[in-house]
Amino acid sequence: MKLSLVIPVYNEVESLRELHSQISQAAASESLQIEVIFVDDGSRDGSWETILQLSHEDSRVQGIRFRRNFGKAAALTAGLKRASGELVMTMDADLQDDPAEIPHFISKLNEGFDVVNGWKQRRLDPWHKVYPSRVFNWLVSRMTGLKLHDHNCGVKLFRCQVAREIRLYGELHRFVPVLAHARGFRVTEIGVHHRARQHGYSKYGIRRFTRGFLDLLTVSFLIVYGQRPHHMLGWIGLVCFGVGFTGLGYLALMWLLMNVFAVWPSTPIGNRPLLAYSIASTLLGAQAMTIGLLAELIVYNTARDSDSFSVAEETQATTS
């Protein structure tokens, strides 16, 4: 089977030739048929010129150049659209991922899996990246039900069906295994050799953890309620509406007992905090249910653009 390697590039001119050489060696050792797709995500250091040279020297190399930096998810999406192999591997261009691991990934995939995620067992990064990453991976495993040690590892191997069915935007590239698992694909992980950075500097700062947590909430919502948003928003709306309606009913009953039946001395209820809280809760509940219905309308009118299911195989149609 043909293997397509999709490699986002952002100011990695010093690493590209060495990375290409290591990929070629790994492919030759296993007699692999490969194509290498470098996606230049708006580099300004001469990376594109190096990609052009490599494509002239090696027909297996292809290049895509963005007009500016659009982010890793956009680069992966462009590369996946160009990929023509039955197997697809993503890899970073900074030489921290070892191409010698490619045969191990393929061997693991052939055990009956659809996605093989890398796991940097001994991570050679600063502590301020390692420990927050461990917390993030724990949260992802707990919230999505897919237990992996390193969800954000850049090196992943998956079948072309996975690439066709998942949609990446924003920074959801780190959740490829989670999105595939949600559609019923079989996901596993394998330990990889993580190497220290040789050139350049990391492109990710502390802000990526904040973005990662927000993306985790997005993915969790999409997995559970992506095709039925009113089930969540409507439930929230019903709870708020119920609390507000109960508070208003209690105050109405108190007013009747005080002013109509004269059971208790009459006191004004307009200045009670419960009145303001009950009205606010009722309005919030009504808004949540309304937004839920609007979300259902959006899903209904756009669902035809992408299937909400994943077909593993089909029988051949018979004719009589």
Which residue would you say has higher pLDDT here, 228 or 251?
A: 251
- Which pLDDT band, with edges at 50, 70 and 90, does 49 fall under? very high
What is the SS3 assignment for 263? Answer: coil
- Which pLDDT band, with edges at 50, 70 and 90, does 315 fall under? very low
Q: Give residue 250's pLDDT.
A: 93
Structure confidence by residue, pLDDT tens digits, 17-32: 999 999 999 999 888 9
Q: Which of 83-87, 215-219, 278-282, 292-296 has the lowest mean pLDDT?
A: 215-219
- Which pLDDT band, with edges at 50, 70 and 90, does 62 fall under? very high
Distance CA 83, CA 105 (A): 18
Q: Would you say residue 320 has pLDDT above 50? A: no
- Which pLDDT band, with edges at 50, 70 and 90, does 305 fall under? low
Domain boundaries, the chain: 2-225, 230-305
- Which pLDDT band, with edges at 50, 70 and 90, does 318 fall under? very low
> H/E element holding 9?
strand 2-9
Question: Among candidates 210, 171, 208, which has minimal Cα distance to 75?
Answer: 171
Q: State whether CATH 2.60.40.10 applies to domain 2-225.
A: no
Report the share of the chain in percent with pLDDT over 70: 86
Q: Would you say residue 172 has pLDDT above 50? A: yes
Which residue would you say has higher pLDDT here, 125 or 11?
A: 11
Q: Would you say residue 282 has pLDDT above 90? A: yes
Distance CA 3, CA 35 (A): 6
133 contacts: CB under 8 Å, gap ≥ 6:
123, 125, 150, 152
Q: Would you say residue 314 has pLDDT above 70? A: no
Q: Give residue 129's pLDDT.
A: 67
Location of structure tokens 């293997």: 3
Q: Would you say residue 108 has pLDDT above 70? A: yes
3 contacts: CB under 8 Å, gap ≥ 6:
27, 32, 33, 34, 35, 85, 86, 87, 88, 89, 102, 106
Distance CA 75, CA 51 (A): 15
Which residue would you say has higher pLDDT here, 168 or 73?
A: 73
Cα separations (Å) of 37 from 52, 125, 131?
11, 26, 32
Highest mean pLDDT pick, 41-45, 199-203, 209-213, 262-266: 41-45
Mean of pLDDT over the chain: 84
Average pLDDT over residues 269-281: 90
Q: Which of 109-118, 200-209, 210-219, 293-302 has the lowest mean pLDDT?
A: 200-209
Q: Would you say residue 306 has pLDDT above 70? A: no
Average pLDDT over residues 187-204: 76
